[in-house]
Structures are given as C-alpha cells and as structure tokens.
Amino acid sequence: MTTHDQAPPDGPVAPDPTLLATSEDQWSRVHVISPLVRGWIALLAIAFFAGRDLFEGVLIGEESPGLSDGGVRLPWTIAIIAGVVVLVAVGFMLSWYFTRYQVTEHHVRVNSGVLFRQNRQARLDRVQAIDVVQPFLARVFGLAELKFEVADAGESAVKLAFLKLSDAQRLRATILARAAGVSIDPENPEDIQEAPEREVLALQPGRVIASTLLSGTTIFLIFGVAAVVVFAVTLDAAAPLAVIIPLALGVAGGYWSSIKNGFNFRAAISPDGIRVRYGLLDTRTQTVPPGRIQAVGISQSPLWRTKGWYRMTVNVAGYGIAATGDAQARATLLPVGTREDVLQLLALVLPNPGTSEPIEVFTAGMEGRDSIAGFLTTPRRARWIGPFEWRRNGFAVTDTALLIRSGFFWRKLAVVPHERTQSLALHQGPVYRRFGVADLLLHTTPGPVSPRIQQVDQHTAWRLFHEQGVRAAEARRRSAPEQWMRPVEVAAATLMPPVPSYSDRDSREAPDNHRGEAHEPHPIEAHDPHPEEAQRAPTDHLGDTPDGQR
C-alpha cells in the first residue's frame, strides 16, 4: 500500500476467528458500496458517450440528432440515459445482493448469480496464493478485493470484491492461518497471534524509473526508430515517419505499466510466505505461502548489465499465463534488483540452496559462463549451433534445485526445486543428433518461466534425465507438508524466524524451524479429522479446487 499514513497499515494483522462461519447458514455479503466501485467504469462510459453526443450537439448546433428538433428530443435523451444508468445500477445492486460468501474451518464458499446461480467452494489448504488488490477508486473508499487462488491456472477461484481493507487483511490472515493448519479456538482467540512479517526489500522510485528507461523496451524503441529512419532516408519519403506515432504510444504504454507495477515495490517474509506489495494507482499485496513457488526465473536485459540489475519472475500455479500487464506483474517477484537483492529473495524461495557455496553457484548462474561452480555447458563441438550462447548454456544441480542457465545477450537463469518438477522431456532434432547434443525440458505449471536446458551433450542429458526423475521423486517424499505450519510449535509460530540469507550460514537452517517436526502437545492443536487425507488426498489436488455445484 502506498498510503503510509493509512491506519491500519497493511502490515501483519491477527487472524480473527470471528470471521469464520460457525454454522452452515452464516453468510456474509461484500461491502455495500462495492457495486458502485465495480460499476463506476460502466457508469463513466455511459456518461462519456452520452455526454460527448450532447456536447458535440451543442458545438455543432442544429446538425446534432439530440437537438435537431429544437430541444423536443433533449428531455427524451436525458430520460433514456438516466434509465440506462438506473438499469445498470440496479443490475450491480442485484448482483451484490445475491453474492454471499462464507469462510469455514476448511472451505471458502461463494454463492453468486441472479438468474444463473453459482455455488463455488474451495478448500483452504489448496490455496496457492492470496492477493489483496485495491484499484484506485477502491482505495479512495478504503476498500480492497480479496483473491483466493487455487491451482487452476489463471482464473481466481474466489474473488471477494470489495471488503473493507482491514476486513480483507484479517480475512487473509485467518485463511492463511487455517490453510497453514493452525486451528483457532473461538473461546480464546488471543491464543493465536498474528503471523509476524519482516520487510526484506524496498525499491526506490528512482531505480524503478531508471530500470524502465534501460529495459528491453528502450532497445526495441532504438531499433524501431533506426529502422524507420533508414526506411525514410532510403525511400526519400516522409511517410514511414508516421509509424513513429504508434511506436511511441506502444513504448509509452510499456514504460507506464513497468513504472506503475514497480512503484513502491516491497517484499517481506512471514511464516505465511512471501509477501510483495506494489502499485502506483492500483495497489496490490500478494502472499504466496511456502512451497507454492514452482519455478524462479532470473533475467537481465542487455542494458541492465551496465548497472548489474536483474528481474525475477515466478511460476505460481494459481497465477497462470495471461499476456496482460497485470498478469505479468503478478508473476514478478522482483521488478529490478541487484545481485544481492536477487540472492536475498532466492534465499526466501529456496531456504536450503542444497550447496555449500550458494553465492558462487547462483552468481555463476546469473552472470558466469563456461564450466565453473558446477555448471556444465554445451560441448565445444556443438558451438556452431549457438555461436554466442554455447558458453552460457548450461545447468547445475544442487541437492534441492536444478539451475538452468542460458542466453548471451538476454541472460537467463531458471531455478526449479526438485520436488516441483512435473515431468521431463528430451528433445533431439536431426541437427542436434549430428552434433550429439539434446535439449532437456522441465515442465512446470503455467507461468513466465519455461526451463529448458539447451544443447547439452546427449549422454549427459540422458543421465540428467534419469537422475532428475529419481531426485524429484526423492525430494517429493521429503518435501514439507501442504499445510506448512502443521503441527507447529506455538513459540516458533509467533516468533519471527530470522530472514534466511545465503551469506549467513546460521540462518540458513532457520526457516525449517517454524515447520517443526515436534509433536508435543500445545495450546494450538491442529485438529483435522483426516490428517492423512488432507496431506495426501489422492485425486483432488487440482480437481477439488473450485468444485461444489458449479
């Protein structure tokens, strides 16, 4: 949230058990002015078109249809516009009235629809991410939208638009606490404390703007303008110069979306996961619980190399792939950051790097080339396939993740935790066969990161293909439970663990503390009727999500 002065700030908020429904019939509605906030664009559009017609009519005088009959039709026009506005408003009010939600111990349910009723239900422990979004107008009213994401690649399972900001935050804390497996005793709600949060990183507006100006968009602009000028000069005509206008508009749009999504970017860590906030006019707070990040991509465009900046993107099952700017912003873990910032955030995503020299290995992945720090590159005999990037192409395996390095001009590094690999494929075409190399693809959930080890020696590729399958299976067996705090030590849950960092060996083990293996009794007992089922429910990992009677 950019509003620093706003009380309460969007900081840690205690889970509030009173938000959980106690009976099947206890339903809530979203805030009463939501229809206005949701419908204002429609109203504005009507006002704009109607107003423009009238306005132009006044300017042109008798020619306009609205005034052509000497003012006779003017009252009708106004009446029709008013009627449409009322109809739209009534529509939004009805939709508000018929939308009700309920959060129980295990599920979140939403009933909506006036004519076509829709009942939706999602399991809390299947949460992949929770967003609290404040579009500009909602911010004016102090409202926020809560988005509950499950692994169905794109569409939000549950959207509550709009709640009071404080309510949305408390609801988020409650849902995350429940999803983490912390149960709340309605008698003594004070027993459960807020999940503390520690800020890890904040971006200065100066860096956001500078990074935008040095981004790939600028390179595109330079090449575009150069092409246009060359055309104009060789053809000796001014016509190609007209292309500059759409080009400039596109570039300005790119700059704007990059600045507004990087503005006031802050990342924090809490036991509930990684939390990022950003936004200039619309603000967004995203929480990704531990273990929900499927793959991390680190990239560097050519101009950023001069400043040593990187960008981090993530694949999260609930976010999906949409090409819109919003979706891209959602999948961005760090819009711009130095190597240290990247390492810091990597330490949050991958608390155990699985190597004794994480800084060396990740740095080699980000900016190195050739076979250093455990990286294996394209064999020399295949250098003609990729004359520039063959020394960059490569991979390294640690105990917990696979690092995939590629790109000469646009440097890229993909990090995939072993337990998140879905399936693997080896590809080899005729040219690759001639050079004895192959590509190895790792399939992850939809997102901006698509890990592909390029042009690796075919025997190495096959060995990795085989070993990676074994490693992934092993890592899955060892991986943390879906409910990341269950069972949990109350002290560990409420005390903030130190922020993990690769440069400090002691704190590297820390994030495991709050996952605890302890089974000793304590006030907060996770009581789940079917603990085994909850963790290892066979078929419903994806299928269960927005199920119910859709």
Q: How far is the CB of 464 from another protein (least distance, A)?
A: 11
- Residue number, 135 or 417, with CB nearest to another protein: 417
Asked if omega into 271 is within 30° of 0 (cis), the reply is no
Contact predicate 182/526, CB 8 Å:
yes
The tokens of 213 are what? 């100006």
Asked if omega into 465 is within 30° of 0 (cis), the reply is no
Angle at 149 between CA 198 and CA 152, to 5 degrees: 140
Measured between alpha carbons, how far is 375 from 394 in angstroms, rounded to an integer?
A: 6
- Residue number, 262 or 291, with CB nearest to another protein: 291
Q: How far is the CB of 212 from another protein (least distance, A)?
A: 31
What DSSP character marks residue 547?
A: B
Q: How far is the CB of 481 from another protein (least distance, A)?
A: 8
Q: How far is the CB of 436 from another protein (least distance, A)?
A: 7
For residue 489, which amino acid is it?
E
Measured between alpha carbons, how far is 191 from 194 in angstroms, rounded to an integer?
A: 10
Q: Which residue has the tokens 């409202």?
A: 143
Q: How far is the CB of 435 from another protein (least distance, A)?
A: 11
Q: How far is the CB of 422 from another protein (least distance, A)?
A: 4
Asked if omega into 205 is within 30° of 0 (cis), the reply is no
- Residue number, 254 or 546, with CB nearest to another protein: 546
Phi and psi (nearest 5°) for 275? -125, 125
Count the alpha carbons within 13 Å of 422 in the hemisphere toward its beta carbon: 13
Q: How far is the CB of 439 from another protein (least distance, A)?
A: 10
- Residue number, 93 or 441, with CB nearest to another protein: 441
- Residue number, 270 or 444, with CB nearest to another protein: 444
Measured between alpha carbons, how far is 199 from 366 in angstroms, rounded to an integer?
A: 24
Q: How far is the CB of 458 from another protein (least distance, A)?
A: 5
Q: How far is the CB of 277 from another protein (least distance, A)?
A: 25
Contact predicate 385/265, CB 8 Å:
no
- Residue number, 156 or 445, with CB nearest to another protein: 445
Q: How far is the CB of 516 from another protein (least distance, A)?
A: 18
Contact predicate 500/202, CB 8 Å:
no
- Residue number, 212 or 294, with CB nearest to another protein: 294
Torsion sign across C-alpha atoms 84, 88, 93, 99: positive
Order of strands across the sheet that contains 143-149: 158-164, 143-149, 129-134, 283-288, 273-278, 266-270, 198-202
Q: Residues for the chain: how many in total?
A: 550
- Residue number, 57 or 446, with CB nearest to another protein: 446
Order of strands across the sheet that contains 118-123: 28-29, 100-103, 107-112, 118-123
Contact predicate 275/281, CB 8 Å:
no
Phi and psi (nearest 5°) for 300? -145, 120
- Residue number, 294 or 454, with CB nearest to another protein: 294
Contact predicate 388/381, CB 8 Å:
no
Binding site for another protein (CB under 8 A): 128, 151, 153, 291-292, 294, 317, 419-430, 433, 436, 438, 441, 443-446, 450, 458, 461-462, 465-466, 469-470, 472-473, 476-477, 479, 482, 535-536, 538-539, 541-543
- Residue number, 68 or 352, with CB nearest to another protein: 352
Measured between alpha carbons, how far is 102 from 158 in angstroms, rounded to an integer?
A: 11
- Residue number, 230 or 431, with CB nearest to another protein: 431
| Strand partners for 314 | 296
Measured between alpha carbons, how far is 440 from 472 in angstroms, rounded to an integer?
A: 15
Q: How far is the CB of 549 from another protein (least distance, A)?
A: 20
- Residue number, 260 or 420, with CB nearest to another protein: 420
What DSSP character marks residue 420?
A: G
Q: How far is the CB of 78 from another protein (least distance, A)?
A: 51
